[in-house]
Structures are given as structure tokens and as C-alpha cells.
Amino acid sequence: MSHWNKLRMFLRAQALLVACFSLLILLVKGQGAALSALSGGCVALTGGAVYVLILRKVDCARPEAVLYLHFMAEIAKLCAMFVAVVILYLWFKQVEWLWILSGCLVAYSAYWFGLLIKN
């Protein structure tokens, strides 16, 4: 499996975890909490997508270039996530911040599952 396919598979796993979590919250807490959890997951997915878009340039680069791209991808991911949270704060006052954080943490749990599961 190519490097690019692994990254896309990771983003799909994050999206699946966020969708399942949001559905569970919808059944337990209602629509407002579920939309907030989905929004938090989308914040994490946005950051992950930016990271993947930058890292797709890594194929046969020198180790210094790979490290530089990882560093730049991480900075771009954090900036994208910051912008997404600011947009949520400014335009959607009705969101529940606890569920936004929970949705973001659920999306980030895919990183840990990715480390635990080997192909």
C-alpha cells in the first residue's frame, strides 16, 4: 500500500470514529450536543487533511526535507485548527464546548489506534 493510500485511510478512520461518536451522542444527549461533537471532529479532520496535503510531497526526499515537511505540516495543521475553532466561536454561539472537545479527542484517538494497529 502506498504512502498516500495509508494517509487517506487514516483520514477515513478519523471520519468514521467521529461519525459513530456523533451518532451515539445524538441518541444519548440530543441534537445540540451531537452537532457540537461533529463540529469538534471536523476541526480535527480539517487539521489532519491539511497535514496529509502537505505530507503527500514526501516520497523520495532526503531525511532533512522529510523532517522539514513534517514540521511545516504540523504548524499548518495547528493554524488550520485554530482558524476552525475561531470560526466556530464567532459564528456558532450555541455550540457546547465540552462536546466540541470530546469530538476532537475522539478524532485524535485514531492516531493512537493507528500506532497500535500494524498492517
- With vertex at residue 46, the alpha carbon angle to CA 44 and CA 47, rounded to the nearest 5 degrees, is 65
For 52-78, what is each residue's pLDDT tens digit? 888 877 666 688 888 888 899 899 999
pLDDT score, position 68: 87
Instruction: Answer whether 103's CB lies under 8 Å from 29's CB.
Output: no
Instruction: Print the domain residue range for 38.
Output: 3-116
**Distance between CA 12 and CA 78 in Å, rounded?**
20
pLDDT for residue 2 is more than 70: no
pLDDT for residue 3 is more than 70: no
Q: 36: pLDDT confidence band, cut at 50, 70 and 90?
A: very high
The total domain count for the chain is: 1
- Ranking 5-14, 28-37, 44-53 by mean pLDDT, the lowest is 5-14
Alpha helices in the chain (DSSP H): 3-28, 31-55, 63-91, 97-116
Mean pLDDT, the chain, rounded, equals 86
Which has the closest alpha carbon to 47: 93, 26, 70, 78? Answer: 78
Residue entry with cell 478519523: 14
- Tell me what the mean pLDDT of segment 83-107 comes to: 88
